[in-house]
Amino acid sequence: MELSENTWKTIDALVKLMGGGAITIAITLYGMKAETTQQNIIEANKRVQALVEITSKQKELDVSLGMQMLETMLKHYFQNSGSPSGAGRLRERMLLLNLMALNFHDVPIHLKPLFEQLDSQLTDSTDKRQLRQIAQEVARRQAFRLTFESGFDSGAMKVEAGKEISIQNFPFKVTIAKVAHDRVFASLVLPDRTLGPFSVSYFDMPLVDNTKVGNLRVSLILLNTDGESAQVRLVCFASDLAADRFDVKELAREIRATRYE
């Protein structure tokens, strides 16, 4: 059966109408999807911004509380420091020093002078041993954090005077010059020079008591000594994990190197 011309025109109009409608529907759906996607992006950005603000405020609060806590403990630690101190007061200071050391073990502050002063005031061997254990616990935590992802940790090593410690793939050696009853003396031997000897006591901590060698920092931790031999631990870690201390000699070397490049 043949269709009339009018019928074909009607079919053609319907197809064109349906095609135009389909395009319109497609454009509408695309627009709705794009709007939804844009809205999702906006909402996601808002959530990220809110999270950043919360984290920032939490960090500020942590720093503020930490500063207040440290200030309060230091004030209490030095309270009546000029008066004679009994055994009870010394143990109280040991507790405060323990709190400061453990709560701020990842902050580059030098607590070694406080440890050494308190150690000189303690007369009981048990108290002295406990104070050294506190310092060693802090040093252990710092060493773990500093060498966790990369770096080197020798573990406990027995050394004597004249002992040379070399580490494969590291451009230096450590020599033990002397072993005393409460410390060891060690030098850092580089290809072009020797640094030291340094005095390493029970109260040295790798985060602040270290030597910078290029992109590395080297720290020696004293674990035990009997005056003839000692147990030490050598750690090496990336230099940017600890804060730089102002070193006039190092600054002068860098200036000379820059001048002659």
Structure tokens at 256: 């000379």
Residue 225 host element (H or E): strand 216-225
Residues 30 and 88 in one domain: no
Residues 111 and 21 in one domain: no
Q: Tell me, what's the pLDDT at 169? A: 81
Residues 198 and 242 in one domain: yes
Residues 27 and 131 in one domain: no
Residues 23 and 74 in one domain: no
50: in domain: no
Structure tokens at 191: 């290809």
48: in domain: no
Q: Tell me, what's the pLDDT at 160? A: 94
What CA–CA distance (Å, rounded) separates 202 from 132? 6
Residues 211 and 170 in one domain: yes
What CA–CA distance (Å, rounded) separates 104 from 111? 10
Q: Tell me, what's the pLDDT at 256? A: 59
256: in domain: no
In sign, the C-alpha dihedral spanning 216, 198, 109, 144 is positive
Residues 114 and 241 in one domain: yes
Residues 11 and 70 in one domain: no
Q: Tell me, what's the pLDDT at 36? A: 72
Q: Tell me, what's the pLDDT at 241? A: 85
Residues 81 and 22 in one domain: no
One pLDDT digit (tens) per residue for the chain, 261 residues: 455 555 545 555 555 555 555 556 555 656 666 667 777 777 777 777 766 666 666 656 555 666 677 777 778 778 765 554 577 888 888 888 888 888 887 888 888 999 999 999 998 899 999 999 999 999 999 999 999 888 899 999 999 999 998 887 888 899 999 999 999 999 999 988 898 899 999 999 999 999 988 888 999 999 999 989 999 999 999 988 887 655 555 555 555 555 545
Residues 76 and 188 in one domain: yes
162: in domain: yes
Within 13 Å of residue 52, how many CA atoms lie on the same side as its CB?
A: 6
| Containing structural domain, residue 177 | 64-250
CA angle (71 as vertex; 69, 74 as ends), nearest 5:
105
Q: Tell me, what's the pLDDT at 168? A: 79
151: region left, alpha or beta (phi > 0 left; psi from -120 to 50 alpha): left
Residues 69 and 140 in one domain: yes
Q: Tell me, what's the pLDDT at 118? A: 92
258: in domain: no
Q: How many domains does the chain have?
A: 2
